[in-house]
Every structure is written in C-alpha cells, then in structure tokens.
Amino acid sequence: MITGKTKTVGILGWPVGHSLSPFMHNAAFAALELDYTYVPLPVEPDHLGEAVAGLKAMGFVGANVTIPHKVTIMPYLDEIDPSAQLTGAVNTIVIRNGRCIGYNTDAQGFIQSLTAKNITLKGKTVVIMGAGGAARAVVSGLIQHGIDKIIIGTRNAVKAQEFVTLFPAGTNLQGCDWHDELFADAIAQCDILINCTPIGMSSSQQIELPINWQNVKTTAVVCDLIYNPPLTPFLAHAQSRGHIVINGAGMLVEQGALAFELWTGEVAPRSIMLDKLIKFI
Ligand code: NAP
C-alpha cells in the first residue's frame, strides 16, 4: 500500500511506456516488503533539467535514466560516480541529502550476466558488433575485468574509429568496418562474440549480422544484448551450432539489481526480478 511514508523511485525516459523496469522493481520491493514504489516518468528532452529539479523537490530517493536522456542528463547532476564517467552515461541516479549522484550500472550489469553463467574474462579476445551506448558500457566493463583484446565492428568504419578514442590510450581496442578482413580475422580468433546492435529485435527489419559461422571457434560464447525476443536469429544460429548463448535479460536484471541495491542498501532478489521480466517478454 502506498502511504505518505512510501519512498519513490522512477524511470526518466521519452517515451517510457515500453519499459519493463516498473514491473521488475515493484516486484522486487514487494518481495522484500520494502516501502518503495517505482513509477514511469515520461520526460520530453526539453524538460529534463526541470524534471531533475522536480525529483529533488518531491523527495524521490532515486531514478533510472533511459533513452534519450542517459548522456544529456549529466550536466544536471551534482556528482558523477566513476562508473558513469567511464561509460560516459548515467542510467541510475541516487538522491541523497538533496544531491543527485549519477551512476552507471550497465557495465557491471553486463559483466555480472556473464559471471553468473561462469564465463571467465581474463585474457580473452572479444568481438563486438555495434558502437553505440550499450557497446560503450560493455567495453567499459570488459576493460575493467582483464580482457586481453577487443575488436569493434560496425557498418561504418569512421564510427568504429571514433568509438575507440573514447577509451584510455593503451587499451587493446581496435575498430573496423565489419566487412573488412580485420573483422573476419577477429571473428576467427574470438572467445566471446557480442551483438550490441538492435539487429534481431522483434520490430527491426530482417537484416543478418555479418558472421561467417564456419570460422567461429566452437568454444566461443555468443551474446546478444537484446532480450526481446529471448532468442534472436543470431543467438538461434549460434545455439544450433553448439555455442553457449546468453541474451540480454541477465544484463537487464543485473543492472536493475545494482540500481536497487544503491537505492535500498538491500540485496536485490534477482530471481524474482528475472521471473517478472520473463512474464512480460
Ligand atoms: P545505439 O546507441 O543506438 O547504438 C546502436 C548501434 O547499432 C550503433 O553502432 C548503430 O550503428 C548500430 N546499428 C543500428 N541499426 C543498425 C543496422 N540496421 N545495421 C547495422 N548497424 C546498426 O543503441 P544502444 O543503446 O547501444 O542499444 C543497442 C542494443 O542493445 C539495443 O537492441 C538495445 O535494446 C540493447 N540494450 C540492451 C540492454 C540490456 O540491459 N539488455 C541495455 C542497453 C541496450 P550506426 O551508428 O551506424 O547507426
């Protein structure tokens, strides 16, 4: 029951009607009998500053931040945690003593979705397709966990090169067009292959990712950040060839669980959050 004492968190985005986070977090609060509620907060880009001030004014304890506000919200916050500095984006806000602190739980959420499946990272070679916000979070997480080498392939080599410059010099990170030979060679060497593009989402066109499956090591772990559908054509193909496959549901739950822990100080009930999520996919 919501009372005058209930603590409020929400999700800032535009639009947010599609977000599964309210179901996932409200189920987690209920499971632990915490007096919190989580609400969708549709905010147009032009009103983002007012919305952040409003969260403080209305005594919110925090919020999640989603598209298109993850980067543009940063100047409105009082402090940026190192997790958000490295990824260049904020997906979680904690409001403490009237100050808004921006965090990013996507990078660690992705890593935990792998370690939960006993995938080790140290010394591995990773190939990533896509160079957007999600790829940046994934690379940030990987370079903090001892990955040996990362190759970014995109449909646009210039964007791949620009992406590489976002990370500290000395990081073993290369960008290329995914039709180049460098990409084909990388595919043949990689231990972990990750789709960070929207190709394969239910609503997207039927485009295929540029993988020559004959060349992929059978031991390679194949990941897709997409969680709807749970088995994209890319993952289905990998699974049919015997690869371990991991979809984006684990990352979504883990990033949410880490945000939940920042707001409440309690260990998040991950299995309940995943069950709730699966019901809506
Ligand atoms: P984004 O910032 O828009 O980046 C998308 C990337 O994919 C860009 O490199 C883009 O290339 C490329 N791309 C898009 N459409 C393409 C196409 N038709 N052909 C080739 N390349 C294409 O998006 P994002 O935030 O990184 O999200 C990427 C995916 O990850 C989405 O499906 C999203 O739902 C998913 N995601 C999942 C989680 C999770 O918790 N599981 C979290 C975040 C994101 P251009 O620059 O050339 O357009």
**Domain regions of the chain by residue span:** 7-104+250-278, 120-243
How many angstroms separate the alpha carbon of residue 159 from the centre of ligand 1?
13
The pTM for the full model equals 0.95
Nearest residue by C-alpha to atom 28 in ligand 1: 197
User: What gap in Å lies between CA 7 and CA 225, rounded to an integer?
Assistant: 31
Q: Which of 177, 197, 247, 252 for a ligand 1 pocket mutation test, highest count of atoms within 8 Å of Cβ? A: 197
Closest approach atom of ligand 1 to CA 248 = 41
Write out pLDDT tens, residues 253-281.
999 999 999 999 999 999 999 999 999 88
User: What gap in Å lies between CA 223 and CA 128, rounded to an integer?
Assistant: 9
Q: Strands 245-246 and 221-224, how do they pair?
A: parallel
Paired residues of 197 in beta bridges: none
How many angstroms separate the alpha carbon of residue 196 from the centre of ligand 1?
5
Q: Which of 260, 277, 263, 246 is nearest to 112 (CA)?
A: 246
Which residue out of 7, 56, 70, 122 is catalytically annotated?
A: 70
What 8-state DSSP symbol labels residue 45? G
User: What gap in Å lies between CA 123 and CA 51, rounded to an integer?
Assistant: 43
How many angstroms separate the alpha carbon of residue 130 from the centre of ligand 1?
6
What integer pLDDT is reported at residue 206 of this predicted model? 75
Pick the CATH number of 7-104+250-278 from 3.40.50.300, 3.40.980.10, 1.10.10.60, 3.40.50.10860: 3.40.50.10860
For residues 43-53, give the mean pLDDT. 98
Q: How far is CA 257 from CA 83, 140, 193, 271, in A?
A: 15, 19, 25, 10
> Which amino acid does the sequence have at 104?
N
For 98: left if phi > 0, alpha if psi spans -120 to 50, otherwise beta; the answer is: left
For residues 125-149, give the mean pLDDT. 95
Q: How many alpha carbons fall within 13 Å on the CB side of residue 110?
A: 26
Beginning with the edge strand found earlier in the chain, give each strand of the sheet holding 245-246 in spatial order: 173-177, 149-154, 125-129, 192-195, 221-224, 245-246
What 8-state DSSP symbol labels residue 213? G
- 62-63-64 Cα angle (round to 5): 145
**Mean of pLDDT over the chain:** 96
CB 28 within 8 A of CB 269: yes
Concerning whether 276 is annotated as a catalytic residue, the answer is: no
Residue 65 has pLDDT above 70, yes or no: yes
For residues 68-74, give the mean pLDDT. 97
Q: How many residues in the chain?
A: 281
Residue 204 has pLDDT above 70, yes or no: no
Q: Which of 25, 23, 19 is nearest to 269 (CA)?
A: 25
Helix, coil or strand: residue 207? coil
The pocket around ligand 1, CB under 6 angstroms, is made up of 106, 130-135, 154-156, 159, 196-199, 201, 207, 225-227, 248, 251-252, 255
CATH class of the domain at 120-243: alpha beta
What 8-state DSSP symbol labels residue 106? H
